[in-house]
Structure 1
Amino acid sequence: MKKIHVTKCGSFLVVFLSLLLLNGCKPSTPINANLESVSITTPEMIKQMEEAVKNEKEIVSYGLPDDWANWKESWEQFTRKYNLVHHDTDMSSAEEIQKFKAERNNPKADVGDIGIQFAPIAVSEGVTMPYKNSYWNEIPNWAKHPDGHWVAWYTGTMSIAVNKNLVPNIPRTFKDLLKPEYKGKIAFGDPRQAANANWAIFAANFAMGGDETNVQPGLDFFRKLAESGNLIPVEPSAANIEKGEAPIVINWDFLTLAQRDRLKDKIPLEVIIPEDGTVIGAYVSIINKWAPHPNAAKLWQEFVFSDQGQINLAKGYARPIRKVDLPPDVAAKLLPESAYKSARAITDWDAFEKSAKKIAEEWSKIIQLMGR
C-alpha cells in the first residue's frame, strides 16, 4: 500500500519542490517542447489495437500495485481479456517520471499512475505519450490535458473522520474544528513530509475563503488550531485511530472510508465532507512516450475508463472520474454525490507550487505552537 499516504507522501514537499524549482523555479528542460496532440479514439482504432496487442504479450506498470484502489481486480480482468502478463514496480510519482526519462533508450514501463500535481512535470519533462481514450468527452476539463498527455481516472476529496466513541458532537465544517470541545483531538501530520497533510491545508484554505494564489487563510486556520491546543502531532493512520490516539483526522475520503469499514467492529467512525469547503485531488494515467507495449498501454486506459474499470476503482473506495451507475453494494461504500457540493479542484498549478513552498516555510512556526 502506498500512494498519497505512504510512498507518495514521503518527503512530499522536498520531492515536489525539488522537481519544480530546478532552473530558477522552472521545470527542467523538456526532451521535446513541441507537444503532440491526438484525436479521440474510435471503435475502429480500438479494433486495430486489439489485433496489434496480440504480439505484445505483456504490460509493465510503475506505481499501480495490486493493493491500491482495487487495481488487483482490474489487472486480473484486463490481462485475462487480452492474454497478457502484467508486472508492476511500486514507486512514487516523482520516481515514475524520473524512471521514464532515465530509461528512454531502453524503456521498461508502459504506464504509470501519478498524483495530479506531478502531471505538469511529466509533460514538461517530455516523458508522456498523448492518448485520448474513447471516453474523453465524459471527463471534466480540469481532469485532463488538452492534448491527451495525462488524464485523471479517479479522485479523492479531503474529509474529516471522527471516532464517535471519543467525540460525541460531530464537526460538520472546518470552522467547527476550532471549538474548545475538540481540544487535543485533531491528529495531524507534517505537511512538509506528507502529501495528505499538505492537501488538508489547501482544503481548509478553500473553506476559509482562500485559493491557490493565497494560502494564508489556510495557514492562519491551522495556526489557530495549534494555539487552541486542538491540533496534536499524531499521524492520521488507521493504527492510531484504532488505538484512540487520533479521535479526529483530516484525510482523503478513500482512506477514511476504507478505515471506517475495516474498523467497523471496533470503532464507530463517521466520515464527513466539510460543508464550508474542501479540495479534490486526483491520480492520473500517463503512458510512457517510449512504451515498449503501446497498444497494451492504450487498451489498459480504455479498460480502466470503461464502466467496469470505474466500478472496480469504486470498490477500492476511489471515486470514479466518470459518472457511472454503481451497483448498490458498491455505491454503499461511498458517500452520496450530494455530500461533495463544497469540493473544488486545483486549477492553477503555478500558484499551487508557490503556495506549497510557503507552507513549507511557515510550518515550523506552527509546529512550535503544538509543542514539537
Structure 2
Amino acid sequence: MKLSSTVAALAAVFAIGVAAPAWSQTKTIYIGMNGGPMEKAYTSQVLPDFEKANNVKVVVVPGTSSDVLAKLLANRNSPQIHVAFLDDGVMARAVNMGVCQKLDDSPVLKELYPFARMKDDIGAGVQLGMTGIGYNTKLFAEKGWAPPTSWMDFANPKYKGKVVFQSASSSTFGLHGFLAINRQLGGSDQNVEPGFSKWSSTVGPNVVEYIPNSAKLSEMVQTGEAGLFPLTPTAVGDLQDKGIPVAYANPKEGAVLLLVDLCVVKNNTDPQLAQKLAQFLLSAPAQSKAAAAGKQIPTNEHATMPPAMQKSLGNLNDLVKKVTVVDWDSINAHRAQWDQRWNQQIEQ
C-alpha cells in the first residue's frame, strides 16, 4: 500500500510537471474599451475566437475613453494595456500625445471605409457611429407629429419644452449636435460663433434640460420629458432593447461621423500579439459578430449586420456617403475655450 501510494504521489507530481509548461504558454493581454453593452458584446462573442486561435487570454479593462487615455498616460513607459478603443476625439488627443504606434500593414486595412483609416495608419476605426436624431415615438404618436428630418427641427417651436440636449462640454453627442446645428447656422468646425450667438434664439428656448451624458435619457423618455435629443443608432438600439419607446432619424443634412478607433499602445509588452489582435478586430468576421452581439456598426465594408439592424439603419453605404466628418484637430485646439463658453453662456 505504501509503495502504491508513493507511485501515485510521484505520478501526480509528474503530471503537474508536464502540465505546467503547457499552462504557462497561455499569455494574457489587455484591451481598454467602454464597459456595458460594448464590453459584453466583445467578451461574449468576439474575443473568444481570438483567444482560442492564439492560446491567449484577452482581458477587458473597462472605462470611458477619457478613463482609458488617463491610464495610458499614467503608464506610458510600461503600459498595462496592449490595445485601446477610444472615441475618435479622444483618439486624436492620444495620437498627439504619442501613446499609439503605427498599425502593421495588412490586407484588412484595405477593407475599411476610407474615413476609418487614420493618417499614417496610426490607428483605425473599429466601430462606426453616426450622431443623428433620437426621438420619443410614444410622444410623437400622441402628438401626431411626423418623425424629425432635420437638425433644425431642434429649433422648431412645436418642440418647446421637449428637447433634451447633452452638454457639449462633457458629451460627444452634445458636441456633435451643437456642431451640426452651428453648421446649419453658417458656422464650421473652425468658426462656432454662429452656434453660440444664435443658440438663445433657435434651439435654446426648446430645451427642457441639459444633461451631462445620455444616462438619464431612458428615464426622461418614459416620463415624457424627452421628445428630441442627439443620439446614435447604436445607443437608440440599446434603449429599444430595454423597451424604451425611441427611434433614430437620420438628418437630411447628414449625420455626424462618430468612430470608435483602436490603436496598438506604444511600448506594450507584446507588440506582435497586440498587432495581431488589432488586425483581428478590424476583420469582417470579428465585426460581423460584434454587430450581431451588440449592434456595433462595422467599419469593414465586407462585414455583415443582422437583418433587423440593417432594416433599422437602411443602406449603410448610402448613409456613409452623407456623413459629416469633423475636424478633431481644430476642435481639440479650441475645446477648452468652447467648454468654458458653453458652461457659462448656454447652461448658465
Q: Same fold by TM-score, threshold 0.5 exceeded?
A: yes
Tell me the equivalent position of 1:63.
Answer: 33
Tell me the equivalent position of 2:6.
Answer: none
Counterparts of 1:367 and 1:93, CA distance in 2: 24
2:109 pairs with one of 136, 140, 148: 136
CA deviation vs aligned residue, 1:95-132 (integer Å, no higher than 9, x gap) = 43343343244432211111111223322322222113
Tell me the equivalent position of 1:232.
Answer: 208
Contact 2:78–2:268, Cα closer than 8 Å, also in 1: no
Tell me the equivalent position of 2:4.
Answer: none
Does residue 120 (structure 1) correspond to residue 127 (structure 2)? The answer is no
The residue correspondences of 1:355-370 to structure 2 (distance < 5 A) are 355-363=334-342, 364-368=344-348
Over 3 Å counting, the alpha-carbon distance change for 1:340 and 1:349 in structure 2 is: closer
RMSD of Structure 2 on Structure 1 (CA): 2.6
Does residue 172 (structure 1) correspond to residue 143 (structure 2)? The answer is no
Over 3 Å counting, the alpha-carbon distance change for 1:319 and 1:135 in structure 2 is: same
Tell me the equivalent position of 1:51.
Answer: none
Amino acid at match of 1:57: K
The residue correspondences of 1:23-172 to structure 2 (distance < 5 A) are 55=25, 57-63=27-33, 65=35, 67-68=37-38, 70-72=41-43, 73-132=45-104, 133-167=106-140, 168-169=144-145, 170-172=147-149
Tell me the equivalent position of 2:289.
Answer: 312
Tell me the equivalent position of 1:205.
Answer: 182
Contact 2:26–2:57, Cα closer than 8 Å, also in 1: no
CA deviation vs aligned residue, 1:1-55 (integer Å, no higher than 9, x gap) = xxxxxxxxxxxxxxxxxxxxxxxxxxxxxxxxxxxxxxxxxxxxxxxxxxxxx95
What displacement does 1:279 show?
A: 1.2
Larger radius of gyration: 2
Counterparts of 2:335 and 2:197, CA distance in 1: 15
**Structure with the bigger percentage of helix:** 2
- TM-score by length of structure 1 reads 0.74
What displacement does 1:226 show?
A: 4.7
Aligned residue for 1:233, secondary structure, equals strand
Tell me the equivalent position of 2:256.
Answer: 279
Counterparts of 2:199 and 2:295, CA distance in 1: 28
Counterparts of 2:75 and 2:241, CA distance in 1: 41
Counterparts of 1:156 and 1:127, CA distance in 2: 24
Counterparts of 1:156 and 1:78, CA distance in 2: 24
| Percent pairwise identity | 21
Unmatched tracts of structure 1, length 5 or more: 1-53
Contact 1:212–1:355, Cα closer than 8 Å, also in 2: no
Contact 2:35–2:63, Cα closer than 8 Å, also in 1: no
Count of aligned residue pairs for this structure pair:
310
What displacement does 1:203 show?
A: 2.3
The residue correspondences of 1:292-311 to structure 2 (distance < 5 A) are 292-311=269-288
1:252 pairs with one of 227, 232, 249: 232
Counterparts of 2:176 and 2:230, CA distance in 1: 10
Contact 1:206–1:278, Cα closer than 8 Å, also in 2: no
Tell me the equivalent position of 2:172.
Answer: 195
Counterparts of 1:292 and 1:248, CA distance in 2: 46
Amino acid at match of 1:274: P
Counterparts of 2:306 and 2:172, CA distance in 1: 31
Counterparts of 2:346 and 2:73, CA distance in 1: 38
Over 3 Å counting, the alpha-carbon distance change for 1:160 and 1:64 in structure 2 is: closer
Tell me the equivalent position of 1:352.
Answer: 331
Over 3 Å counting, the alpha-carbon distance change for 1:231 and 1:225 in structure 2 is: farther
Counterparts of 1:308 and 1:270, CA distance in 2: 28
What displacement does 1:164 show?
A: 2.5
| Farther off after superposition, 231-240 or 332-341 | 332-341
Aligned residue for 1:165, secondary structure, equals helix
